[in-house]
Structure 1
């Protein structure tokens, strides 16, 4: 049994891992677009194609990444290798200019990044056990959002002082810091059977990860996958639409206000994640999920009330509630639905692919509606999709919280 000092070190290491990987998990995103446009004078079409290829690479590897994490007993090493690959994909960017090389490095970084979410979930579950996993997940998301806000503030400051290229070195530094954090996690503290959703010290090693089997035979998991896809189909395009409206209203203020939206929403997500960690085992998953899903259609409708920049920014803060609740509850629901199967992480990867596909289609749908009928129509369309997701969750999704009192589980230590 781990000593209290070891348990405290593991808890702090997981905190650090989530904090430093926060920005790394999401990739360079808009920072890459700004760099290629401002420094190398790429056309928007080429920039969009590079980002699309990276997004597709991430989508295609989510499920295999989950299967790898389910199977391997070297989860820490997988995180280290992935972080080093992301670091390499960042630091080489200032030295390459061709479309092929930039696309290859970003696809490599996206593929490597696809292992982070299932690896963090698996290591957390393997250390805490199912009983304490809720509180640990709440802490994971809390540090993730804090890390995102911290990285966004540093990225803005460094880009202002040193130019867009500074963002790449910042991300590389955070990736290397995550290597140090995961290296401090005790390898002996991870129960690899529990980490993949089996009972402790499970002996049926012939059960291999098979996400497709779980998805096709588990009705509740399928329903949840559709809910996730619809949620992100509605959510992903809302901030870009707000940014476009801000640009039309006051171009000089568009970038600062968009950055303010991102940082403030991340800070709002912190108490939302803490709420999940503290109450999801008492109140159940579904009430909190419904609250998170209900915020989204309300937000879409509120955007149509005014074109005032500060109104738009204020409404965007509601994203911190909806996305904060969803992000913290997502691994908990998948854990509940796959308990005892040994396929927790491959299912986590498959559902991540589902909502990633929804997010990928979101901007296309919104752009089509904007072109045909304007911004208000686009916001209302996304609100309609969000309402459909809420109704499906309300009527077809069961409560997934199960009684784990009969299981042995290590406590999730809280550092003094």
Structure 2
């Protein structure tokens, strides 16, 4: 698969983007709970990040927002009547449940699925498993619609294998690619897949929840037909979870042969690196870049989202580029570390900062917003082409967003039945532009 490249499929931020503060362990989400959000600005910021990559010559796709509000959730909770009556009753009797039904968290496409390219799988197909996101109520309802989107986009069964979510039980808790890193010499060659988990099946942990289980990661590796010799499972450090690293991608990111991570990312760093090196034997030489706690305290790493950045093979550049949020530049310790890092001769040669503040305030940086899919030219051609972006399509999507999204949204607005209609009409217009009207 010599012609393979990494394609980023970003989640398009939906019209109900709000600061519900529903994600336990996500400090940014909790800090900004109840604030006024700007769905229009959020979606435009996300698309401008995508435009940056398209203009650089990278291949960029998009995943549509899911249907919101989620009436199935509200009906399951006993609310009935017309759509307007359901909204009004839920707002009066269960406002937190209504916030969950309006959650726009599917914007964070890194949680949509775990992906293994065809170069790694025994059957030579690209595998995607929808994440069950069972730990948090507002996210646990996403996977049926996520699976439907993936089936519509990766529709060629000879090339793609779409797996539904794992069982909705705590032992199988799965948060998708946010706890998965693929390392390789070249995108199209066989690589090593690193799965990071926070707890064993049946294990309970105090404090913030460990959202990924070892059993879930093992199950996905089996479903994806991965070689056990090229698969590594590592435990995330409990100290990182307690500090607010609710996913491993808050303290670690990798690309090609480079693993960029915080000193507190793994429970046993030496053992993790040794396992990766052993799995990579004869394939590539691992280039670890560890950020010491003494230079960047774990608290700064999490609030700045230094590691929740995209690590990219940028066209025309010899070294990798870290696409980081503005908050990384504005945090002194992370800015100083980045300046020192790129001035050396390590594998990361440049840091570029992007404005995704609306997403950041709800707890997701540039890496949260994208699902990485390594694909050959033939696989890219077999994907539903309506979701593959160029600047013209980005312009068209932004026009729809300016026309249909609100520039101000409060928790009280969710109680207005007309807002539900606004969300539905906006999504229909977006799906039509993406040639996915069958998902309405």
TM-score, normalisation: structure 1: 0.25
Which protein, 1 or 2, shows the higher relative CO under an 8 Å CA cutoff with sep ≥ 6?
1
TM-score, normalisation: structure 2: 0.24
Which has a greater percent of helix? 1
